[in-house]
């Protein structure tokens, strides 16, 4: 970063921002003389999400990208300011700020902010106005992305019409192995269509009633092991072992499609943490008031700094991951079924355990 000084230019920039209009001319001149000016090259990270914030930035020239959870959510163009919330709230940074192009900036330290702005109501009002504008822009972006996602789901569901022809293949198939795979495809397509319909209903703020009935957990696990786990690219080169006890009393009131989603997500995670030929163990026990399902792997475990984050939406340790699988699992088990989802981990592997109440 290259520093420079041009007080008259700094003053002209400050006068364009409403937060500085409340300051008397003499104080504004003093502030302009104190501020640090610097140049940030393209891709320079000014601050990172989660770090302590000790200063705010005024963008004189260039453009900044605002990134949250490794996703670009907005941009800031000159002349504007960013980073004031960490000074107001005394909280860690809520997003990462990156110079999208060569930019010239000014910094206001926490000390300067407190000295010049903390007791000035008009400055606070101006900041609230800016915050309102940014929230409105964020809401518009979220709404546009939400609409686009729903359009894609709608069109994907329409394109699934061809899967209805699978029943013709099933009717005429004489090979048991081929018939098994055709039935697996039919079941998967039905589950996928149901999830798409649920997503579209949620978009309309409807809460579709899910079919909740008694299902055998051991049957669900056995069917997944004989079907999906045999063909899934992340699982098929692993050894999946079943340890199912109390199978005569494992009928649980649940939404079967959602429980299949949970088990599949957890086994995929275990497979991705395992080497080729690694063992994944699925256990089932039925206790007096609950059923307990566990999925264990023999990987290297979850690093300590990441353990508190793994259930966060969009958090993933894999570059190609989207960080939604475990979020989905926790929502289904805890919010929709009244159970619990926990994990234990060490350098010898990880075990995820979920419980479902026996009603």
pLDDT (tens digit per residue) in 271-329:
999 999 999 999 999 888 899 999 999 999 999 988 988 888 777 777 666 778 899 99
Question: Does some domain include residue 297?
Answer: yes
The domain boundary, picked from 88, 119, 150, lies at 119
Is residue 108 domain-shared with residue 224, that is, in the same domain? no
**Residue after which a domain boundary falls, among 89, 119, 149:** 119
pLDDT > 70? residue 3: no
What confidence tens digit (pLDDT) does each residue in 153-173 have? 877 777 777 787 787 888 888
Q: What is the DSSP letter of 338?
A: S
What average pLDDT score do residues 122-135 get? 75
Domain region containing 352: 212-357
Domain count, the chain: 2
Beta-strand ranges (E) seen in the chain are 2-3, 36-40, 45-47, 55-61, 63-68, 71-77, 80-82, 96-99, 103-109, 213-216, 239-244, 251-254, 279-286, 290-296, 340-346, 349-357
In a domain, 106, yes or no: yes
């Amino acid at each position: 970063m290259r520093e420079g000084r041009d007080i008259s230019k700094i003053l002209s920039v400050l006068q364009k921002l409403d937060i500085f209009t409340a300051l008397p001319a003499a104080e504004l001149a003093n502030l302009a003389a104190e501020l640090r000016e610097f140049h940030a090259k393209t891709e320079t990270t000014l601050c990172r999400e989660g770090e302590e914030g000790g200063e705010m930035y005024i963008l004189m020239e260039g453009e900044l990208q605002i990134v949250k959870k490794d996703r670009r959510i907005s941009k800031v163009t000159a002349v504007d300011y960013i980073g004031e919330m960490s000074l107001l709230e005394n909280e860690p940074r809520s997003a990462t700020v990156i110079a999208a192009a060569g930019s010239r900036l000014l910094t206001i330290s926490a000390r300067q902010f407190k000295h010049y702005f903390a007791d000035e109501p008009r400055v606070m009002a101006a900041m609230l106005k800016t915050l309102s504008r940014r929230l409105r822009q964020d809401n518009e972006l979220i709404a546009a992305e939400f609409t686009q996602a729903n359009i894609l789901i709608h069109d994907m569901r329409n394109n699934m019409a061809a899967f209805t022809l699978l029943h013709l293949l099933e009717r005429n198939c004489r090979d048991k192995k081929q018939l098994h795979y055709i039935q697996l495809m039919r079941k998967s397509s039905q589950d996928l269509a149901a999830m798409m319909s649920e997503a579209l209903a949620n978009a309309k703020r409807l809460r579709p009633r899910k079919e909740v009935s008694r299902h055998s957990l051991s049957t669900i696990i056995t069917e997944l092991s004989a079907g999906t786990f045999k063909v899934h690219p992340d699982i098929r080169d692993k050894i999946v072992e079943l340890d199912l006890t109390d199978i005569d009393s494992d009928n649980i009131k649940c939404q079967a499609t959602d429980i299949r989603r949970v088990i599949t997500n957890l086994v995929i995670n275990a497979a991705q943490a395992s080497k080729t030929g690694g063992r994944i163990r699925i256990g089932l026990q039925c206790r007096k008031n609950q059923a307990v399902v566990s999925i264990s792997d023999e990987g290297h475990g979850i690093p300590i700094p990441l353990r508190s984050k793994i259930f966060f939406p969009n958090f993933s340790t894999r570059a190609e991951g989207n960080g939604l699988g475990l979020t989905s699992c926790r929502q289904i088990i805890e919010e929709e079924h009244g159970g619990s989802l926990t994990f234990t981990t060490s350098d010898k592997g990880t075990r995820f355990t979920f419980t479902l109440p026996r009603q």
